[in-house]
């Protein structure tokens, strides 16, 4: 932090290349704290692909006017708690999904409900990589995919940010088999994948079959057709890629009843 009278925050000032669209701003200290919020001194923050697309204007779903804050996840220590906060206290080491609360800042104020205690033994840098990507994977598999113990799960893009969490979460939820596509076989198997298909040399559609859930973190018509091929007739295809319109067009290119029997749940599709 620069001094006790101000702190720095990254501002998104224009829809353009990040080299020109971002700037540092000196902010005055918060004088009042909402009763349900906590104040965090930030030492680690993460960026996700969505942040780049928001800066360039490729995605414009935020209603907040420019200039505005930027970023996703943060980690460090609680320095103040609101009067109605029950879980956290000053000095707690935490990590948080701080989207919408200007996380790229030396000081960040967020609802207590969005903050969790940092696991012991985990660095602040490691903790700051978790919330958005891991929550996306969890929601995709459990909330949208309806995952139950004993299911077979295929993950397209297992060595990416969301995909790497999805492998571990699928195993933790009791998947009977987890398959993924990646060129990094050792990495994915180290996370718990049972089968790793190298997409550069093999086609998952020829190697896999009868999966209960296909979780697509890559996107494109090829992956949609491949996923449809390896799903059970009652399986679920979940995608986080696209804008909703593109997903609808891909579904429309399916094969009649085969497509209709597959429940498609494009959740958080803007996270690309």
The string of pLDDT tens digits covering residues 85-132 is 999 999 999 999 999 999 999 999 999 999 999 999 999 999 999 999
> Distance (Å, rounded) from C-alpha 8 to C-alpha 197?
45
Name 68's Cβ contacts closer than 8 Å, sequence gap at least 6. 11, 12, 62, 102
Kindly give the interhelix angle for 221-230 and 245-252, rounded to the nearest 10 degrees.
Answer: 50
> Distance (Å, rounded) from C-alpha 118 to C-alpha 101?
19
The more confident residue out of 251 and 19 is: 19
Classified as helix, coil or strand, 207 is helix
Per-residue confidence at 22, pLDDT binned at 50, 70, 90? very high
> Distance (Å, rounded) from C-alpha 74 to C-alpha 108?
9
Asked if pLDDT for residue 265 goes beyond 80, the answer is: no
pLDDT tens string 201-216: 998 989 999 999 999 9
* Beta strands at 177-181 and 211-216: parallel, antiparallel or unpaired: unpaired
Measure the N-to-C terminal CA separation of the chain; round to a whole number of Å: 32
Give the lowest-confidence range in 32-36, 90-94, 256-260.
Answer: 256-260
């Amino acid at each position: 932090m620069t001094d006790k009278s101000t702190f720095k925050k990254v501002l998104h000032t224009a829809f353009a290349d990040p080299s020109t669209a971002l700037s540092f701003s000196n902010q005055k200290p918060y004088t009042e704290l909402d009763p349900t919020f906590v104040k965090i001194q930030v030492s680690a923050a993460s960026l996700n692909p969505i942040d780049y697309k928001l800066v360039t204007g490729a995605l414009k779903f935020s209603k907040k006017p420019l200039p505005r804050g930027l970023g996703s996840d943060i980690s460090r220590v609680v320095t103040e708690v609101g009067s109605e906060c029950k879980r956290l206290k000053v000095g707690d080491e935490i990590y948080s999904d701080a989207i919408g609360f200007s996380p790229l800042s030396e000081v960040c104020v967020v609802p207590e409900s969005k903050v969790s205690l940092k696991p012991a033994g985990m660095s602040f840098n490691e903790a700051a990589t978790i919330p958005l990507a891991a929550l996306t994977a969890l929601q995709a598999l459990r909330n949208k995919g309806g995952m139950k113990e004993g299911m077979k799960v295929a993950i397209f893009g297992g060595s990416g940010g969301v995909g790497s969490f999805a492998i571990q979460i699928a195993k933790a939820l009791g998947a009977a088999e987890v398959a993924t596509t990646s060129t990094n076989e050792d990495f994915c198997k180290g996370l718990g994948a049972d089968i790793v298909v190298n997409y550069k040399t093999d086609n998952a559609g020829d190697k896999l079959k009868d999966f209960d859930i296909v979780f697509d973190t890559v996107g494109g018509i090829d992956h949609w057709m491949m996923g449809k091929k390896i799903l059970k007739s009652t399986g679920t295809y979940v995608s986080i890629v696209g804008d909703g319109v593109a997903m609808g067009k891909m579904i429309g290119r399916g094969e009649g009843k085969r497509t209709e029997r597959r429940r498609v749940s494009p959740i958080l599709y803007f996270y690309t």
